[in-house]
Structure 1
Amino acid sequence: MSRIGAVGGKYAMRWMGYQGSTMVNICDLELIGTQIEQDKFVINLTKEYFQQEIIEDLVAEKLLLDCSIANLVGHRIVDRAIKLKLAKEASIKRISGVPFLMIYKFQYG
């Protein structure tokens, strides 16, 4: 079930490159500034960690397809990764109902 709408398909994004790999952190924009708690887990979704810039759906999709590593938080961005067949539902971790997904694309060469 897609939850596109709350902030019109906008995401907070931060990327970093290291030794030929690109890692992106992408979070549904409306989650920035919130704290998620479940049992012993406390996760602060801060602007400093996730929001280098604000992006929209098409940019998010391109980043997901092109990156080496993706760290995703939120219903919309995780749904998008699943629809792109970059991961399976079984790979999603939910904390207080919020989906988290990490994708590693292994390349041999």
Structure 2
Amino acid sequence: MKISESYYGNEIIEIDEAKKLLESSNIINMVGKDTISLSLELGIGSENGVKKISGVPFLIVFKM
């Protein structure tokens, strides 16, 4: 897996802003345990959907 700045960006945001983005987005592509943990705490996605590549967790969510 290649995690690139051009795709994921390079801006670090506060937790409150991350929550707003997770709650308002319809398609979410996440990498990393902190973001995924926050998403799961908010009820967005499920533990069963979390996969790992080379030990790095990722989760893709499509809200319908």
Query: Do they superpose with TM above 0.5?
Result: yes
Alignment of 1:1-109 (within 5 A): 43-51=1-9, 53-106=11-64
Q: How many angstroms does 1:53 deviate by?
A: 3.2
- Rg larger for: 1
Aligned-pair identity (%): 38
Bigger helix share? 2
Question: Cα RMSD between the aligned structures?
Answer: 1.2
Larger strand fraction of residues = 1
- Specify every segment of 5 or more residues in structure 1 that has no aligned partner in the other structure, as ranges: 1-42
Secondary structure of 1:76's aligned partner: helix
Q: Give the 3-state SS of the residue equivalent to 1:44 in structure 2.
A: coil
How many residue pairs end up in the alignment? 64
Q: Distance in 1 between matches of 2:16 and 2:25?
A: 14
State the 4+ residue runs in structure 1 displaced beyond 6 angstroms.
none
Q: Which has the higher contact order (CA 8 A, sep 6+)?
A: 2
